[in-house]
Structure 1
């Protein structure tokens, strides 16, 4: 029994002395609890909407105030015409638009009936459906609360809500998952495989042979990276065509622009893999960083599955340093909305900036110590 106690005591000493073991035992569960507890939320909260109020009458302003009286929605843009709705959607600024027609109050007073149009971004069908239902509920609530006070009548006054699901009228889930899978798969392949490939050379000592050759270190890195760039791009194109011809997901933007954005994202995540290889000394550590420090945040915090605006502010700040957050916006806008480069310029510039920073930091850290 004393021997058993000794072995148990010894094992506890080993566990608490090994930082990697402590990270696995305590760090990963804490991170998962925080991510799953705060990020996984399908609630409607502070959804950005655009308003096109063609009526300008008192009752139309009262209707707008009713919609904004909850924390569910906030007006991001006041539009002047219907053409501006498409532009706002393509830029990803809003998730819904409310169109109040001219003579809104007059229609209610004379005809006991008026119409309000709700246009939702259904590129994420679940969120689009929820937003449409919440907006419709707010409009009907306004009707019952204000019919007697404002219009001197009680129902059967009607406000008919026309809900339009733009970009995915059939509410197909493939419209969300095909672009999202491109984001996730490229992150995994480019980052994980690149970091492991370079770390393997360092760990086995073959990097010494390469560095002893006449080749510049940048040539060595390019030689390691280009095969994964070519394979990743081929896989992304394969997923695009599979999504289009098997699942019916549209590809509305110019294919040359899509190709450019995919290559840019591949370069960013490849640079991220190179950076990991400069930090991790072993393949095991590189794999752990790639999977747990990148895969889970990419899945949960990039907007692929759960809306970013539902997350607490600290997690929203984390999403801003994840490349997948920006590429997810880009690929959805290109495939489903037919966006142009001007409408995704902000996200494109952010990815380009990330690439420059990651390459610069990686080159600075890429100082292999022999022996």
Structure 2
């Protein structure tokens, strides 16, 4: 092969890449997307976490400490509780991740007894976040203690008591089991259904379906049913392993948890059918389902990294990731033991996504061979 012929082959390949917009996007766009997502989402630092304060003392000392906690970049005080009875509902509704409790007479005990106590109650369904938040809060409290002790012969001492709700032993399985459920169901269901319709096109069996009197809706649904049944087996196996092998309890309603898992499975199947209807080859469908679903599911669902730590654009994008809503539901029902009343919004989001994706899938299903 001569030099000119070799260069012509190189030119030909460049022209081919430049004409193929999908390939060009993958080559140039994917690295940019990955570095942005990894750069902003890949952090173990916890910032702007929603907390509540139960101040039963209401004196200058508690006001100063509350102000310092709120001024810290790690916390955002979103509620001031009036009684201890409001602590449980605040956690179950997912409004806060930690509650700071000042007992009656906090300031008086500090001034006259040189000793006072504060309680930190954290949501330990995510043990890493709970540990981090209590450590940050304790650092703020100790910093306040050091400042007020300057020049005092008999220093003040503030004792911090910790209480971890839902997961007192701080087992990591309580956090990763809901995340693994979301990731496994999303990837398997989406990937397997993504190649179904496009496989019929490649094998030439689409013609048989096109001449049949079956409506497109029934064909699409028929494609999803076997994978729905297989996903139910996956749900059962994950729950059994979680309870009997990993000792993760199901504190809420088992029927509700199963129903929510089936709804999420339908969402994933609908997404897979949309990919299958919109692509022309199994390789493309599999690539989109793996690459397009794996990164958002892992990075933007809240499973690996807290969503509230991310920049606003990524927080907005995370709202269209189905796994985020399912992860919230599983943690709430399985770990916190809440009922449907606490997760109806997330359920409605998943139901809306399922209906929308299924509708688009049917519209993209071509009656004639392209």
Scaled by the length of structure 2, the TM-score of the pair is 0.95
Q: How does 1:209-358 map to 2 (within 5 A)?
A: 209-358=208-357
Deviation at 1:155, TM superposition (A): 5.5
Q: How does 1:55-204 map to 2 (within 5 A)?
A: 55-147=57-149, 153=152, 156-204=155-203
For residues 314 and 62 of structure 1, the distance between their equivalents in structure 2, rounded to whole angstroms, comes to: 34
For residues 110 and 126 of structure 2, the distance between their equivalents in structure 1, rounded to whole angstroms, comes to: 34
For residues 153 and 321 of structure 2, the distance between their equivalents in structure 1, rounded to whole angstroms, comes to: 52
Q: Which has the higher mean CA deviation after the structures are superposed, 111-120 or 197-206?
A: 197-206
For residues 154 and 352 of structure 1, the distance between their equivalents in structure 2, rounded to whole angstroms, comes to: 64
Q: 1:28 touches 1:292 (CA, 8 Å); kept in 2?
A: no
Structure-1 residue corresponding to 2:10: 8
For residues 235 and 154 of structure 2, the distance between their equivalents in structure 1, rounded to whole angstroms, comes to: 55
SS of equivalent residue, structure 2 residue 195? helix
Q: How many residues are treated as equivalent by the alignment?
A: 368
Q: 1:46 touches 1:73 (CA, 8 Å); kept in 2?
A: yes
SS of equivalent residue, structure 2 residue 225? helix
Distance 1:282 1:368, change over 3 A: farther
Distance 1:283 1:154, change over 3 A: farther
Q: 1:192 touches 1:287 (CA, 8 Å); kept in 2?
A: yes
Note the alpha carbon deviations across 1:327-348, whole angstroms, 9 max, x for none: 0011011111111111111111
Q: 1:190 touches 1:266 (CA, 8 Å); kept in 2?
A: yes
Note the alpha carbon deviations across 1:270-301, whole angstroms, 9 max, x for none: 11112222221221221121111111111111
Runs of 4+ aligned structure 1 residues displaced above 4 Å come to none
Scaled by the length of structure 1, the TM-score of the pair is 0.95
Note the alpha carbon deviations across 1:39-67, whole angstroms, 9 max, x for none: 11111210100111111112111110011
Q: 1:28 aligns with which of 27, 30, 42?
A: 30
Note the alpha carbon deviations across 1:63-120, whole angstroms, 9 max, x for none: 1001111211001222122222222212222111111111111111221111110011
For residues 155 and 247 of structure 1, the distance between their equivalents in structure 2, rounded to whole angstroms, comes to: 49
Note the alpha carbon deviations across 1:294-321, whole angstroms, 9 max, x for none: 1111111110100001111000000001
SS of equivalent residue, structure 1 residue 201? helix
Note the alpha carbon deviations across 1:2-43, whole angstroms, 9 max, x for none: 433333333333333332332332222111111111111111
Q: 2:50 aligns with which of 48, 51, 76?
A: 48
For residues 93 and 45 of structure 1, the distance between their equivalents in structure 2, rounded to whole angstroms, comes to: 15
Distance 1:155 1:182, change over 3 A: farther
Q: CA RMSD in A?
A: 1.6
Q: 2:210 touches 2:368 (CA, 8 Å); kept in 1?
A: no
Q: 2:303 touches 2:327 (CA, 8 Å); kept in 1?
A: yes
For residues 128 and 164 of structure 2, the distance between their equivalents in structure 1, rounded to whole angstroms, comes to: 11
Gaps of 5+ in 1: none
For residues 16 and 111 of structure 2, the distance between their equivalents in structure 1, rounded to whole angstroms, comes to: 80
Q: 1:144 touches 1:154 (CA, 8 Å); kept in 2?
A: no
For residues 194 and 8 of structure 1, the distance between their equivalents in structure 2, rounded to whole angstroms, comes to: 37
For residues 317 and 202 of structure 1, the distance between their equivalents in structure 2, rounded to whole angstroms, comes to: 36
Q: Which has the higher mean CA deviation after the structures are superposed, 14-23 or 253-262?
A: 14-23
Q: 1:251 touches 1:338 (CA, 8 Å); kept in 2?
A: yes
SS of equivalent residue, structure 1 residue 68? helix
